[in-house]
Amino acid sequence: MPLPDTMFCVQQINIPPELPDILKQFTKAAIRTQPHDVLQWSAAYFSALSKGDILPVKERLEMPVATQKTDTGLTPGLLKTLHKQLAPKETVTKEELCQKWKGLCLPKEQLDNILALGNFATSIDWMQFFALGCSALGGTIVSAMKQACEILTEDPEGGAARIPYDTFVSLYTYLAHLDGEIPQNAIEAFLAGLQEDVERQGGMVQPTNFFGPRRVEDIK
């Protein structure tokens, strides 16, 4: 292939003035998110940036658990990022979810397991998937609900981690029914037991209302 007749010098290359800031923000985002596949994540990052979509970026760096010997895939920070990306739609397609999941370099096997557990088809109720994501993080229902409060809360980090009671009820009842071993009267009794705290807290629930010795046996 012959060389082009026109040769370009450094002075002729037009560098957009916003490029340095774009690269700076990209670098900071990569450090916070720590993607396992930088190339794959970078493609998702710049694709979202070009479309004006929410970026696949964690709010802050998550330190690994000292006892964790293997990569567990989903983390609270990554689930929160997925929530920011997909919650506005309420119902998402399997294709959309797979795309966002892949953009965060999460293992496909874990996604397949959650989808199978929820018996989801092509259309997915995001909050139901979110609940199962919290369950994957916490293991038990009580731990899953604590994760949900900490991810969904609008309180500052380290605060009470309050969420609306209606949201709590929706997530908890979904997980309890899916569990299949918690009778309906036990579900109703547990939720009724929260009423006094909810009324005192202006219709909000926080982990201290249920995450403790007096509550664990009711909802585990």
Tens of pLDDT, residues 160-198: 999 999 999 999 999 999 988 889 999 999 999 999 999
- CA 109 and chain centroid, separation: 17
Each residue of 58-94: pLDDT tens digit? 999 987 654 444 456 899 999 999 999 999 988 999 9
Specify the pLDDT at position 132: 96
Q: Helix or strand or coil: residue 5?
A: coil
Specify the pLDDT at position 3: 57
Kindly state whether residue 71 falls inside one of the protein's structural domains. Answer: no
Kindly state whether residue 173 falls inside one of the protein's structural domains. Answer: yes
Query: For 23-28, what is the mean pLDDT?
Result: 96
Each residue of 198-218: pLDDT tens digit? 999 999 999 999 876 544 444
Kindly state whether residue 124 falls inside one of the protein's structural domains. Answer: no
Please name which of 72, 58, 215 lies closest in space to residue 151, comparing C-alpha atoms. Answer: 58
Kindly state whether residue 216 falls inside one of the protein's structural domains. Answer: yes
Specify the pLDDT at position 211: 79
Kindly state whether residue 162 falls inside one of the protein's structural domains. Answer: yes
Query: For 17-38, what is the mean pLDDT?
Result: 93
Kindly state whether residue 183 falls inside one of the protein's structural domains. Answer: yes
Domain that holds residue 200: 139-220
Q: What percent of the chain has pLDDT over 90?
A: 72
Burial label, 178 (beta-carbon count in 10 A; 0-12, 13-18, 19+): middle
Structural domains counted in the chain: 1
- The label of the residue with tokens 């909802």 reads 219
Q: Would you say 170 and 148 are in contact if contact means Cβ atoms under 8 Å apart?
A: no
Kindly state whether residue 69 falls inside one of the protein's structural domains. Answer: no
Q: Would you say 198 and 207 are in contact if contact means Cβ atoms under 8 Å apart?
A: no
